[in-house]
Structure 1
Amino acid sequence: MLLKISGINSKFSILGNWGIKGYLGDRYLAKQLGVLSDLKNIEIAKMLCFEAICLGAINSSSKNFTCVKEFVSRTYPELTNKITNEHPEYFIDGSYYRYVLMMKQF
């Protein structure tokens, strides 16, 4: 469902936010993590959300990678650098990893 939407924060005015950006916000993640909601755990949760986004893109029939590209290039470029250096396995697919490495060169 999330990948059928073009973009990381698409909105439908009557039904609210249908994008995934709201689920990656610090306040939302802190609420979900409860007593475990320190900055490090919120960062880890965002990294795991990135992995889930990659899995969803790979497993979708449309192969829509818009959410992955949005996360990498505009929404969380610093966190993407950390994922690239510490957890490249979160990219799931080598093509995403190569895309980020190419972007770092520019």
Structure 2
Amino acid sequence: MKKYYFLIFLLFIFGCSMPSTSVMSVDARPSLAIKGASATADLLIDGLNVGKAAVYSGDTKTLTIEPGTHRVTISDNGQVVYEQNIFVESELKTITVR
């Protein structure tokens, strides 16, 4: 009889617990991929050097940026090889350097 009371007690305790919820947020910021850049080319976004352009090829890594208009400049050994204003919203934007 004590076992039944104990089981009823356990059911009462675990049956009355509050439900748990989890909230996950997805990073929906746009990203940028650079194709065809040389290994020595630098990538500048709005005049700020963010690293080597070849790193952000899109195969293994992309650059996450804020939505809006940005000035993208790719320079290699001090010479500008690509420069353009781009507008990004919430997708992957791929730039091909020729």
Taking structure 2 as the reference length, the TM-score comes to 0.22
Bigger Rg, structure 1 or 2: 2
Higher helix share: 1
Larger RCO: 1 or 2 (CA < 8 Å, sep 6+): 2
Taking structure 1 as the reference length, the TM-score comes to 0.21
Higher strand share: 2
